[in-house]
Amino acid sequence: MKNKSRNILPSILICMTLLQLIGCMTSKKATVKSLAKIENIKPLDAIIVPGIPFNNGNWDSVMKGRVLWSYILYKKGYAKNVIYSGSAVYSPYYEGRIMGLYAEQLGIPRAHIFCEIWARHSTENVYYSYLLAKQHGFKSIGLATDPFQSSLLRRFTRKRFETHVWHLPMNTDSLAAYNHLSPKINPASAAADSFISITESESFWKRLGGTMGKGIDWKQYPDRKVPKL
């Protein structure tokens, strides 16, 4: 089984990379259309931003894109609060807290930044952030990430939550005016007390299942649908 996973893994990674590149080419028109859908109800109480590993002491282009997009949405009045989600999955830093530190340096007030640090997979990013939003009394919520991840999570958000989760995929054109921003952070406060990489604690197939929501404990919600916010 280990040999099979090693053989299939490169093909899956290549396919995912190609799909992500195609997703990132989403037109500016599509982004404008998604924002137009919430024009009459904005600002949303919160937007969810899924995490990405923090490697080599600096954010990579994917994390930068997601954080900048959340900053743009906050700055332009599309969201009151931002929930950054992600545990210490592949690196010894809580992804949610790292993104929160960058967001604060960009100018989002700390009072409007929330960090969720339990999620280890993209479906869990949405699930735990939704529960956090519910805990804080938020009533409207969106998912702000790159087009590829947004597309992968669309079916999950539609089926598993009674409150509609608005999808607000970013477009590279939208980030162009902000791409020069390069805030510096001290990551120490986001470091995990103990860390074991998910590649050591979970098999490839278990991680793949996790991306499809199989790692979520639904005992609290037997019908596998979380009530309205």
pTM across the whole model: 0.89
CA 84 – CA 66 distance, rounded (Å): 10
Question: What domains are there in the chain, each with its CATH number?
Answer: 26-211 (3.40.50.620)
Residues of the chain predicted below pLDDT 50: 1-6, 8-19, 21-25
Which stretches does DSSP call E strand in the chain? 46-50, 82-85, 113-116, 141-143, 165-167
SS3 76: coil
Amino acid, res. 211? T
41-88 per-position pLDDT tens digit: 999 999 999 999 999 889 999 999 999 999 999 999 999 999 999 999
Question: For residue 85, with 0-12 CB atoms within 10 Å meaning exposed, 13-18 middle and 19 or more buried, which class applies?
Answer: buried
Angle, CA 126 vertex, CA 81 and CA 61 arms, to 5°: 75
The Cα–Cα gap between 40 and 117 comes to 32
Q: Residue 193 is inside which H or E element, if any?
A: none
